[in-house]
Amino acid sequence: MDKVFIVTSGCYSDYQIEAVFSTKEKAEEYIDSKKYPDDFSIEEYEIDDEIIREEKIFVVGIDLSTRETMMNLPFEVYNEMDNAEYIDCFSIYGVEKPNIQLTLDVSFICVFTIKSKSAKVAQKSAQDRLVQILAMEDAYYPLMRTKCVINVNDKTCRFPIYKIHTKELVLRPGEVEIKNYKY
């Protein structure tokens, strides 16, 4: 079966294809001609060989104060956001964490539900999305840091869940918005 040899550089958001060759030798010559050859790598692919990669749903949290990425979220957070209905959505949660004085601090975590091929890609996607969301917070997500959704039946209050691409607020049956409840 025929192959192609793809010369790439960078990683994550900086990842790019530099050139495509029919032989490994030509790809290596191309890399050798560059000023910094260690910045490049060669990926080998079969032509017309279909690669099937199953995507899974990942729930990824990012601490808003430390920017730490978390996959092991508290059960109640994970349980709520691990839902196909919330793919490409995010919300804010207050999570208690022990501190040095052995008391509990509340950390605010931005939680994303992402469909991806791997946990590593999901974590990077969450980081990239958080940067975009924070840049557009005032214009598109004004209620993001507001505990603004209340269930009229059981009187529970929660942070909003937004759809990332449409910027819509997701309301469940029986829920209404309450504005100006800042944390």
Q: How many domains does the chain have?
A: 2
- Same-domain status, 77 and 115: yes
- Same-domain status, 63 and 39: no
Question: Does residue 182 form part of some domain?
Answer: no
- Same-domain status, 40 and 86: no
- Same-domain status, 141 and 89: yes
pLDDT score at 122? 87
Which residues lie below 8 Å from residue 27, measured CB to CB, with a gap of 6+?
5, 6, 7, 19, 21, 42
pLDDT score at 182? 46
Question: Does residue 7 form part of some domain?
Answer: yes
- Each of the 183 residues of the chain gets a pLDDT tens digit; together they read 588 999 998 876 678 899 999 999 999 999 999 888 888 999 998 887 676 777 888 888 888 878 888 887 776 777 777 777 777 777 777 666 555 555 555 667 888 888 888 888 888 888 888 888 888 877 777 666 665 566 666 666 666 777 877 777 777 677 776 655 444
| Longest distance between any two alpha carbons in the chain, whole Å | 69
Q: Is 69 within 8 Å of 127 (Cβ atoms)?
A: yes
- Residues spanned by the domain of 35: 3-46
- Same-domain status, 39 and 68: no
- Same-domain status, 71 and 27: no
Question: Does residue 125 form part of some domain?
Answer: yes
pLDDT score at 49? 67
